[in-house]
């Protein structure tokens, strides 16, 4: 546990070879937190892997806390971990919101990056946020109908604002149903094929509901299309982009835009996958990317 300010303490862990290739793992959400499975993308004999729960997520405390929680502060936390670990440069690995944060970190500190492995690209633009909330009805009308049902018709013109008001309420009778509805709305669309519902998790629902709505309401604390406009700062570095063809959370157009803006980038479009990192084709492509990076470093 690492106290990063007077409010937030973040959980972090290190696995693998202390003398291996350094890599930072950035989870999605925001608010989703780590899973032991996230360690499995890396060869433990060749990689030194740093993983952490971002502010308000997972084992970090307080869970779901939106105060002192911005992209810029998360970047500072990553740098704090790097300095604490004595790492000069590292590979940056992130999926979904983790890809957003990876790009933001890289563009802020390109000299600290060896390269990138990115999955399910999210650039945090208004169009992507609108798709996440309203575009769902085009492919999952029954899930979208369930999501908007608790919201009065007069408020459905701005679902994000309606949910933020409820999710941020101090009244548990108001915010708990809202964060659970938000988390379920996303979770049921992550895989290409329906999956059994996970066991309920208050920490996950609170982290996902509060932090996702907080960051979306603030457009990720970015200026307009910032991540694409500033890609030149990291365009000299290698990147593997892994994208599910049928990702309805983060549609492929964002991965394509990033690929077009980044000369030399390699885009792997997985033909039979949705959004989840653990879909078979996506997981295989991510492991292949870390294996290829490992081999290139061996001959560097």
Active site residues: 96, 247, 275
Phi and psi at residue 267, to the nearest 5° = -105, 125
CB atoms within 10 A of CB 228: 17
CB atoms within 10 A of CB 195: 13
| Structure tokens belonging to residue 172 | 């548990």
Residue with tokens 């078979």: 280
| Structure tokens belonging to residue 99 | 């890809």
- Rounded distance, CA 88 to CA 17, Å? 16
- Rounded distance, CA 107 to CA 158, Å? 32
Contacts of 201 (CB under 8 A, 6+ apart): none
Q: What angle do CA 284, 290, 296 make, to 5 degrees?
A: 135
**b/e map of 134-167 (b: 16 or more CB within 10 Å)?**
ebbeeebeebbeebbeebeeeeeeebbebbbbbb
3-state SS assignment for residue 55: coil
Strand order in the sheet with 90-95: 12-16, 47-52, 21-26, 90-95, 113-119, 239-244, 266-270
């Amino acid at each position: 546990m690492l106290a990063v300010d007077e409010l937030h303490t973040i959980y972090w862990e290190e696995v693998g070879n202390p003398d291996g290739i350094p890599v930072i793992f950035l989870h999605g959400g925001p608010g989703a937190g780590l899973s032991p499975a996230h360690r499995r993308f890396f060869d433990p004999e060749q990689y030194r892997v740093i993983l952490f729960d971002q502010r308000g997520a997972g084992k970090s405390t307080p869970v779901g806390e939106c105060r002192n929680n911005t992209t810029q502060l998360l970047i500072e936390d990553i740098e704090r971990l790097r300095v604490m670990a004595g790492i000069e440069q590292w590979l940056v690995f992130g999926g979904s919101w983790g890809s957003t944060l990876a790009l933001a970190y890289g563009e802020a500190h390109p000299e600290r990056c060896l390269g990138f492995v990115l999955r399910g690209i999210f650039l945090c633009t208004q169009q992507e946020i609108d798709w996440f909330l309203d575009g769902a009805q085009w492919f999952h009308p029954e899930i979208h109908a369930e999501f908007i049902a608790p919201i009065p018709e007069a408020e459905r013109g701005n679902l994000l604002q309606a949910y933020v008001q409820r999710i941020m309420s101090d009244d548990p009778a108001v915010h708990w149903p809202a964060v659970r509805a938000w988390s379920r709305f996303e979770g049921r669309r992550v895989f290409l094929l329906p999956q059994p519902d996970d066991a309920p998790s208050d920490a996950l629902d609170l982290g996902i509901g509060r932090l996702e709505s907080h960051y979306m309401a603030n457009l990720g604390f970015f200026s307009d299309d910032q991540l694409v406009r500033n890609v030149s700062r990291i365009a000299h570095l290698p990147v593997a982009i892994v994208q599910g063809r049928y990702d309805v959370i983060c549609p492929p157009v964002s991965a394509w835009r990033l690929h077009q803006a980044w000369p030399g980038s390699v885009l792997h479009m997985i033909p039979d996958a949705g959004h989840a990192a653990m879909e078979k084709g996506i997981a295989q492509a991510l492991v292949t990317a870390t294996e290829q990076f490992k081999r290139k470093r061996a001959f560097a």
